[in-house]
Structure 1
Amino acid sequence: MAEPESLTGRTQRPVVLAVDDLPSNLAVASAMLEELDVDIRLAEDGPTALQYAELAPQPDLILLDVMMPGMDGHEVLARLRANPATRHIPVIFVTALDTPGDEHSGLLEGAVDYIAKPLQAPVFRARVRNHLELKLARV
């Protein structure tokens, strides 16, 4: 097994909130993130994600599915950006919607990145790590 990749010399590990309505997708994302030195929170719907985004310590990064019943990822992102307490948290859309138009729309809405499913573990981890490092460098 590979050694965990430490993101910084912080005493507290970065927190990643993964949001997807399918438990199997959350399990895959969690397994892929195990090599990073992060704490992972899981939410299966938009309202829960919004609650978890405000819990202390707040997430350093949110991985957000777009297609969810009830409140989709677009609405979750809009609410995160409208809330002064959560607007600073970077969000990566992680979705099966993979057209250039979907990606363009997501980025215009305020997502910092857009990752299409199925996930490729090395690329997924690298992008998550990069965005965490960017976020932590700004603190």
Structure 2
Amino acid sequence: MSSEIGFAYTTRLRLGDSSGADLALSKLASIRFPHSTKRSFEVSTTTADPVTVFIAEDNPILLQGLERALTANGYAVDTAADGPAMMELLDAAPLPDILLLDVMMPGMSGVEVLDSVRADPRTAGLPVVLITAAADEVVPGSSLEGRGADVLMKPFRLNELLSRIENHVGRHRGAAGEASRSSGAAAGTISGDN
């Protein structure tokens, strides 16, 4: 394999388990794009208002790869090795902008975490992306249908994940801003947004 400074390349990781989980990530340690192909994100990833992503993934190699890739793209990332750890993180930390949940984790699956998140009024509106290698989980009538979450199939490309994060967080922040402006107007307050 060869590399060129300033350009991304794709590395495919094949994890040794039988689930067939693999993930295409662009150069995990430092992702760089040439100026002509640099992505333009609508979601702010500046240090003043970083997008915060919480990831629950039981495979430590995949978890570290996702954390590095997202951090290299300007996201603030916090991780959990399983479902119960994610629930503790959600209780203890300020809420993130989006959750990435592996579907198949021991102890508490990503679907169980999603159900708990949706049942709690504090977290019910959080955008969630479920990540799975199990194609049978995403067919109509499956356990994932109708749960209010996006589903991303493994293997996936980093750009696909970044696009989904961008879209979900942009919609969520837009909806939260609109709700805030509406409630302010209803209460008779005046702001620069009205």
TM class by smaller structure: 0.7 to 0.9
For residue 139 of structure 2, what is the aligned residue in structure 1? 101
How far 1:56 sits from its partner (Å)?
4.0
The 10-residue stretch of structure 1 (1-10 or 115-124) with the greater mean CA deviation from structure 2: 1-10
Q: Distance in 1 between matches of 2:63 and 2:43?
A: 22
Coordinate RMSD, CA, aligned: 2.4
Structure 2 stretches of 5 or more lacking a match?
1-31, 177-194
> In the alignment, what sits opposite 1:26?
63
Equivalents in 1 of 2:42, 2:63: separation in Å?
22
Q: Give the counterpart letter for 1:109 in structure 2.
A: R
- Amino acid in the other structure paired with 2:51: P
Once the two structures are overlaid, the 10-residue window that deviates more, 82-91 or 49-58, is 49-58
**1:7 and 2:77 equivalent?**
no
Where 1:28 maps in the other structure, the secondary structure is: helix
CA contact (8 A) 1:20 1:44 kept: yes
**Number of aligned residues:** 138
CA distance in 1, matches of 2:167, 2:101: 17
Q: 1:138 aligns to what?
A: 175
The 5 A counterparts of 1:108-127 are: 108-111=146-149, 113-127=150-164
| Partner of residue 122 from structure 2, selected from 85, 92, 103 | 85
What's 1:42 paired with?
A: 79
Give identity over the alignment, percent: 31
Residue identity matched to 2:102: D
Instruction: For residue 110 of structure 1, report the CA deviation from its aligned partner.
Output: 2.2
Q: Name the larger-Rg structure.
A: 2
Greater RCO (Cα-Cα under 8 Å, separation 6 or more)? 1
Deviations 1:63-113 (A, max 9, x none): 0001011111111111111111111111110111123427953241221x1
Query: What is residue 72 of structure 1 aligned with on the other side?
Result: 109
Tell me whether 3-12 or 51-60 shows the greater mean CA deviation.
3-12
TM-score where L is the length of structure 2: 0.63
1:20-71 residue CA offsets vs partner (Å, 9 max, x unmatched):
1111111222233234321001101111111222344211100000101111
TM-score (norm 1): 0.85
C-alpha displacement at 1:126, in angstroms?
A: 1.1
Which runs of 5 or more structure 1 residues have no equivalent in the other structure? none
Query: Secondary structure of the residue that 2:64 maps to in structure 1?
Result: helix
Q: Secondary structure at the match of 2:79?
A: strand
The residue aligned with 2:190 is: none
